[in-house]
Chain A
């Protein structure tokens, strides 16, 4: 059974870049035709899809964040990562990583990490 674990700084200063990694166990980021996604949830609010990277390397981002987001894969560490630049307090949220069931994008978000809280504050 695949397991996902987010990690990264819990506090980021305004205007800086938020960087998170998702470590995958029980499977490989480089094998299988999976979508690897990031989702976030501001405190007390709903979920927001950030984007995904497909096993082929293609990416797709939420247009509201597209200019600031980069998702990439590091096969040597069996991780994928999220970078969000020029953060503001509005980017304070619990960030989740997730994986699809298989290659079907309609099963995009099946396996989830436990989430990590990132606070943007000086």
Chain B
């Protein structure tokens, strides 16, 4: 079955710094989803990528899917304390099931 790995496991950055979180799949991805979790608020959908080479942005967050559709990166520009939380990638295994990565914990120091 498909597995997702994320790196790093946790990340501490100073406010204003850029950062990148990676998500790697053992198989070619059909759809790759990024979510953010803030404790007590559940999972918030950020972006979905489906095509090789695709890139999407929302405010200061950019997500990319590589051409082989096995790796995605989430990049945050000029991080703010409001970006802190746990970021999870999720993948649609061609409709058979949906799997999540283990998550990356981001802390942003003011």
A, B from the same assembly: no
